[in-house]
Copies of this chain bind each other. A is one copy, B any other.
Amino acid sequence: MLVSTLREAPGDAAIISHKLMFRAGLIRKLSNGLFAYLPMGLRVKRKVEQIVREEMNAIGAQEFLLPVVVPGEVWKESGRWTTMGDGMLKVKNRLGQDLVVSPTAEEAITSVIRDELFSYKQLPIVAYQIQTKFRDEIRPRYGVMRGREFTMKDAYSFHGDDKSLDEVYANFARAYRNVFRRCGLTVIPVSADSGAFGGSGSEEFMIESEIGDNTLILCKKCGYAANDEKAGCASDIALDKDGNPQKPTTLPIEKVACAGVETIVQMEEFFKMPASQFIKVLIYRVENSEIDFSSAPGGKSFKKDGNVYPEVFVAVAIRGDLDVNEAKLAALLKASAAELADEENVIKYSGAPHGFVGPVGLTNVPLIVDFSVMEKTDDGFKINVHDTVTGGGVADFDNIHVEPGRDFVPFLTGDIRTVKAGDICPNCGEPFFTKKGNELGHIFKLGTKYAKALKAKFLDENGKEQTPTMGCYGIGIDRTVASIIEENNDENGIIWPMSVAPFSVAVVPIKGEQDSLALAEELYGDLQKRGIEVLLDDRNERPGVKFKDLDLMGIPLRVVISDKTLPDAEVRMRKTGEVEKIPLKEVADFVESTVRSQMESYK
């Protein structure tokens, strides 16, 4: 076996799992975000895959295997050929055919299933695969935690009705909890925004991580847990500078010259008012929105492609002390992405440069307003801020005494604020706290989006043609491996849970008077016969080097045979450092029962 431990991690390794996966010889880098698994790492990866496979089979999911490279056609049918963005690796082959190196497989599986599906009797169909995916990350980092190529278990379910989807969704929710428990991981299940994937009803399985991509909004009291891309909070009424609820004004809007006063902090100083009395207006560029803008200001000039607007610009108003959450904004606008517009478009659409954009008199652009400012109701608006200060709509001027509803009306209102630590839980009134997290798994109800687009159909009990509803369920395998290391390590290296350890035990003979190598080989053979995965460290190295390597590699049990230990062997637990002397004859029994009972504890 090629043992490739390193004293030093590569310079670009910023997190512990990345460092340890290199140092322990689990992976090597071919290029940014492209990794080779060495034998020690592959053993762990395969174990994680097998745990996932067992839990998938246990809920009746069936394993398929779709190609990594798929025809562009199915992506064109769903419309995601254009909406997936540059993260999807497209390639034309020598015959000019469009191909995609799959970033996900909703289209491919739906195109396979639609040809097999004809009757409600076949439903539900629950398909999964464990297969290579590729996403062209701009900045791949943290090793396999955010690589370009990775292995995913992706599953897709097809149903005749929502009840069936609910059942299977619940099965997956349970199976995912089993998977992560069996891998020795503590996950935080949170509700999530399902973003460009469409649909609603989703849960993300998060692992706490200082370098997490996600901010988790958590409530200590009631257990509320959500991704900040979806989290809501209790509405809070803005107070004026004296701490009283703001009051409507009857004063007309007044323009105030305030050149140089551009940021909220500058405005607070200049107007001597809290930011909660300002309305901040920002121009956003929105991609692939499915909202009908035809009746909105400026809407007539927006270009439509089918029922999608590839690019529109909107003005977004929010209370001055709050931030717009782009994911929530995109979800409200049924869009694939929303980002701040560049200065040219800010001026084009609002008439003012950034910092002086206001909500009043916007005629070229739809105005989207956060609930912190106002909420559309059945019979008008509930106004949540009054007598506000806003940008003046021209450079170097602000407006004061602006009344929402009186001075401007929105095209759309919604909850698009970024929820932060300290905001109030809508369930129980407790203030939220936050954690950074990485997503290991994601389950969500897709609805009929892909089935409709790809024309999957079946005949129901009454012989009527119906569209199946779908669910979609993913687990990142490599990321799970890295996360296990993040949660199970110490200053000496990895501490593998028995369930995923590359080997359960290492046998280490140490040269001396007695033939420890022969005894070690005998024990090695015995353990192999018992079905125990055992490593024999017969390298010609000093004991200290071997011990260091084995600690680094995280093998759960170490058995040393030497002049010092004989007639016993010394068994050491990697996790606790506990050492036991066991008579050599009994070692195999002891190791086997230890391994089996630890394995059992992860079932």
| Residues of chain A whose beta carbon lies under 8 Å from any beta carbon of chain B | 1-2, 4, 28, 30-31, 34-39, 42, 45, 62-71, 73-74, 86-87, 89-91, 93-95, 97, 99, 101, 108-109, 111-112, 115-116, 122, 125, 127, 132, 134, 136, 138, 148-149
CB-contact partner of A39 in B62, B71, B109, B136, under 8 A? B62
Q: Which residues of B sit under 8 angstroms from A136, Cβ to Cβ?
A: 93-95
User: Whole-angstrom distance from the CB of A537 to the nearest CB of chain B?
Assistant: 15
Q: Which residues of B sit under 8 angstroms from A34, Cβ to Cβ?
A: 67, 69-71
A67 to B38, CA, bound (A): 11
A30 to B111, CA, bound (A): 8
CB-contact partner of A1 in B1, B35, B62, B112, under 8 A? B62
A149 to B91, CA, bound (A): 14
Q: Which residues of B sit under 8 angstroms from A1, Cβ to Cβ?
A: 62
Complex contact A134–B69 (CB within 8 A): yes
- Chain B: CB-nearest residue to A66: B36
Q: Which residues of B sit under 8 angstroms from A91, Cβ to Cβ?
A: 89-91, 101
Complex contact B149–A67 (CB within 8 A): yes
A30/B108 contact (C-beta < 8 A), A36-B66, A63-B39, A91-B91 known: yes
Complex contact B74–A30 (CB within 8 A): yes
CB-contact partner of A138 in B73, B87, B94, B127, under 8 A? B94
Q: Which residues of B sit under 8 angstroms from A90, Cβ to Cβ?
A: 91
Q: Which residues of B sit under 8 angstroms from A66, Cβ to Cβ?
A: 30, 36-37
13 examples of A-B residue contacts, CB within 8 angstroms: A1-B62, A4-B116, A28-B115, A28-B116, A30-B111, A34-B70, A36-B108, A42-B63, A45-B65, A67-B149, A68-B134, A69-B101, A89-B93
Complex contact B94–A65 (CB within 8 A): no
Residue in A1, A4, A45 with the greatest tally of chain B CB atoms within 10 Å: A4
- Chain B: CB-nearest residue to A92: B91
User: Whole-angstrom distance from the CB of A72 to the nearest CB of chain B?
Assistant: 9
- Chain B: CB-nearest residue to A68: B132
User: Whole-angstrom distance from the CB of A290 to the nearest CB of chain B?
Assistant: 25
Q: Which residues of B sit under 8 angstroms from A109, Cβ to Cβ?
A: 36
Complex contact B112–A28 (CB within 8 A): yes
A35/B148 contact (C-beta < 8 A), A2-B125, A136-B94 known: no
Complex contact A64–B37 (CB within 8 A): yes
Complex contact B89–A64 (CB within 8 A): no
A97/B4 contact (C-beta < 8 A), A64-B42, A68-B68 known: no
- Chain B: CB-nearest residue to A70: B30
CB-contact partner of A31 in B30, B39, B71, under 8 A? B71
Given A28-B116, A67-B149, A91-B91, 11 more pairs with CB closer than 8 A: A30-B67, A30-B70, A30-B108, A34-B70, A36-B64, A36-B65, A38-B64, A42-B64, A45-B65, A67-B132, A89-B91
Q: Which residues of B sit under 8 angstroms from A35, Cβ to Cβ?
A: 67
Report, nearest first, the 3 A-B pairs whose CB atoms are least far apart.
A31-B71, A91-B91, A37-B65
A171 to B145, CA, bound (A): 38
A99 to B64, CA, bound (A): 27
Complex contact B134–A36 (CB within 8 A): no
Complex contact A42–B67 (CB within 8 A): no
- Chain B: CB-nearest residue to A111: B30
User: Whole-angstrom distance from the CB of A83 to the nearest CB of chain B?
Assistant: 16
User: Whole-angstrom distance from the CB of A445 to the nearest CB of chain B?
Assistant: 21
Q: Which residues of B sit under 8 angstroms from A69, Cβ to Cβ?
A: 34, 89, 101, 134, 148-149
Residue in A30, A87, A116, A136 with the greatest tally of chain B CB atoms within 10 Å: A30
Q: Which residues of B sit under 8 angstroms from A67, Cβ to Cβ?
A: 30, 34-36, 132, 149
A101 to B108, CA, bound (A): 19
A99 to B4, CA, bound (A): 27
User: Whole-angstrom distance from the CB of A488 to the nearest CB of chain B?
Assistant: 22
- Chain B: CB-nearest residue to A121: B540
Q: Which residues of B sit under 8 angstroms from A28, Cβ to Cβ?
A: 112, 115-116
Complex contact A30–B94 (CB within 8 A): no
- Chain B: CB-nearest residue to A1: B62
Complex contact B30–A71 (CB within 8 A): yes
- Chain B: CB-nearest residue to A38: B64
User: Whole-angstrom distance from the CB of A337 to the nearest CB of chain B?
Assistant: 15
- Chain B: CB-nearest residue to A128: B39
- Chain B: CB-nearest residue to A91: B91
User: Whole-angstrom distance from the CB of A231 to the nearest CB of chain B?
Assistant: 31
Complex contact B31–A73 (CB within 8 A): yes
Q: Which residues of B sit under 8 angstroms from A134, Cβ to Cβ?
A: 68-69
User: Whole-angstrom distance from the CB of A525 to the nearest CB of chain B?
Assistant: 15
- Chain B: CB-nearest residue to A37: B65
A64 to B116, CA, bound (A): 36
Q: Which residues of B sit under 8 angstroms from A70, Cβ to Cβ?
A: 30-31, 34
CB-contact partner of A86 in B37, B62, B94, under 8 A? B94
A503 to B377, CA, bound (A): 61
Residue in A1, A31, A86, A134 with the greatest tally of chain B CB atoms within 10 Å: A31
Q: Which residues of B sit under 8 angstroms from A42, Cβ to Cβ?
A: 63-65
Q: Which residues of B sit under 8 angstroms from A149, Cβ to Cβ?
A: 67-69
User: Whole-angstrom distance from the CB of A235 to the nearest CB of chain B?
Assistant: 41
User: Whole-angstrom distance from the CB of A539 to the nearest CB of chain B?
Assistant: 9
User: Whole-angstrom distance from the CB of A103 to the nearest CB of chain B?
Assistant: 12
A151 to B62, CA, bound (A): 20
Q: Which residues of B sit under 8 angstroms from A93, Cβ to Cβ?
A: 89, 136, 148
User: Whole-angstrom distance from the CB of A450 to the nearest CB of chain B?
Assistant: 15
- Chain B: CB-nearest residue to A39: B62
Q: Which residues of B sit under 8 angstroms from A65, Cβ to Cβ?
A: 36-37, 42, 45
